[in-house]
Amino acid sequence: MITSKMTSKAQTTIPQAVRVALKLNPGDEIAYRIEEGRVILMRVEASAQGDDPFATFVEWDSPADRKAYADL
Protein backbone atom coordinates (compact mmCIF):
# COMPACT_ATOMS: atom_id res chain seq x y z
CA MET A 1 0.00 0.00 0.00
CA ILE A 2 1.25 3.50 -0.86
CA THR A 3 0.50 6.25 1.67
CA SER A 4 1.00 10.00 2.13
CA LYS A 5 0.16 12.44 4.91
CA MET A 6 -2.23 15.38 4.77
CA THR A 7 -1.05 18.77 6.02
CA SER A 8 -3.04 21.11 8.25
CA LYS A 9 -4.11 22.89 5.03
CA ALA A 10 -5.57 19.62 3.65
CA GLN A 11 -2.73 19.26 1.13
CA THR A 12 -0.81 16.11 0.25
CA THR A 13 1.89 15.03 -2.16
CA ILE A 14 0.96 12.41 -4.72
CA PRO A 15 3.59 9.71 -4.22
CA GLN A 16 6.04 9.12 -7.07
CA ALA A 17 4.80 5.58 -7.74
CA VAL A 18 1.27 6.95 -8.27
CA ARG A 19 2.50 9.81 -10.48
CA VAL A 20 4.45 7.34 -12.62
CA ALA A 21 1.56 4.85 -12.84
CA LEU A 22 -0.86 7.60 -13.94
CA LYS A 23 1.76 9.35 -16.10
CA LEU A 24 1.13 12.62 -14.24
CA ASN A 25 3.12 15.74 -15.03
CA PRO A 26 3.07 19.21 -13.49
CA GLY A 27 -0.08 21.02 -14.61
CA ASP A 28 -2.05 17.83 -15.32
CA GLU A 29 -5.60 17.71 -14.05
CA ILE A 30 -6.70 14.88 -11.77
CA ALA A 31 -10.20 13.73 -10.90
CA TYR A 32 -11.56 12.01 -7.80
CA ARG A 33 -14.48 9.60 -7.61
CA ILE A 34 -15.86 8.35 -4.29
CA GLU A 35 -17.24 4.81 -4.31
CA GLU A 36 -18.26 2.84 -1.23
CA GLY A 37 -16.00 4.77 1.15
CA ARG A 38 -12.99 4.69 -1.20
CA VAL A 39 -11.52 7.38 -3.42
CA ILE A 40 -10.45 6.63 -6.97
CA LEU A 41 -7.84 9.02 -8.35
CA MET A 42 -7.71 9.42 -12.14
CA ARG A 43 -5.71 11.47 -14.61
CA VAL A 44 -7.96 13.66 -16.76
CA GLU A 45 -6.98 13.29 -20.39
CA ALA A 46 -6.02 16.56 -22.11
CA SER A 47 -8.79 16.20 -24.69
CA ALA A 48 -11.36 15.91 -21.87
CA GLN A 49 -10.23 19.27 -20.50
CA GLY A 50 -11.24 21.01 -23.71
CA ASP A 51 -9.77 23.92 -25.59
CA ASP A 52 -11.90 26.68 -24.07
CA PRO A 53 -9.50 29.31 -22.68
CA PHE A 54 -12.29 30.59 -20.44
CA ALA A 55 -12.59 27.21 -18.68
CA THR A 56 -9.53 28.05 -16.56
CA PHE A 57 -10.23 31.74 -16.00
CA VAL A 58 -13.87 31.75 -14.93
CA GLU A 59 -13.50 35.27 -13.54
CA TRP A 60 -13.03 36.46 -17.15
CA ASP A 61 -16.14 34.72 -18.45
CA SER A 62 -18.61 37.56 -18.85
CA PRO A 63 -20.48 38.51 -22.03
CA ALA A 64 -18.25 41.60 -22.33
CA ASP A 65 -15.10 39.46 -22.06
CA ARG A 66 -16.33 37.00 -24.67
CA LYS A 67 -17.11 39.86 -27.04
CA ALA A 68 -13.73 41.51 -26.44
CA TYR A 69 -11.75 38.32 -27.05
CA ALA A 70 -13.94 36.78 -29.79
CA ASP A 71 -11.51 37.62 -32.61
CA LEU A 72 -8.34 36.32 -30.94
Q: The domain at 16-69 falls in which architecture?
A: Ribbon (2.10)
pTM for this entry: 0.59
- Each domain of the chain, given as residue ranges in start order, spans 16-69
- What does the pLDDT look like over 25-68, one tens digit per residue? 998 999 999 999 999 999 998 765 556 665 666 676 688 888 88
- What pLDDT does residue 45 have? 83
Separation CA 23–CA 17 (nearest Å): 10
**Cα 38 → chain centroid:** 19
Is the distance from CB of 49 to CB of 28 less than 8 angstroms? no
